[in-house]
Amino acid sequence: MNTTLETDVVSSSPEVMSGTVVFAGTRVPAQSLFDYLAGGHTVEEFLDDFPTVSREQAVGLLRALSHSFELGLEK
């Protein structure tokens, strides 16, 4: 299935990183942010190491994920 996802925060396309979800306009996998946080690093450290990702994108992804968890708990 060749599905393309495009938002201001993340995108996914078969032509970019084989369809891995990346921060929009970059080749940085969204999973990298979660890996950094799980490893005890801060969002600041992530942004310093991946300067092509904006603060708005990183925070937007975390907010979207948080919101999806809130919706799941209400059911």
Contacts of 46 (CB under 8 A, 6+ apart): 32, 33, 36, 37, 53, 58
pTM here is 0.84
3-state class (DSSP) for residue 73: helix
Question: What does the pLDDT look like over 6-17, one tens digit per residue?
Answer: 788 999 999 999
Domain housing 33: 5-74
Residues 6-55 have pLDDT tens digits of: 788 999 999 999 999 999 999 999 999 999 999 999 999 999 999 999 99
The CATH number of residue 67's host domain is: 1.10.10.10
Q: How many domains does the chain have?
A: 1
AA identity, residue 75: K
DSSP for 14-66? TTBGGG--EETTS--BHHHHHHHHHTT--HHHHHHH-TTS-HHHHHHHHHHHH
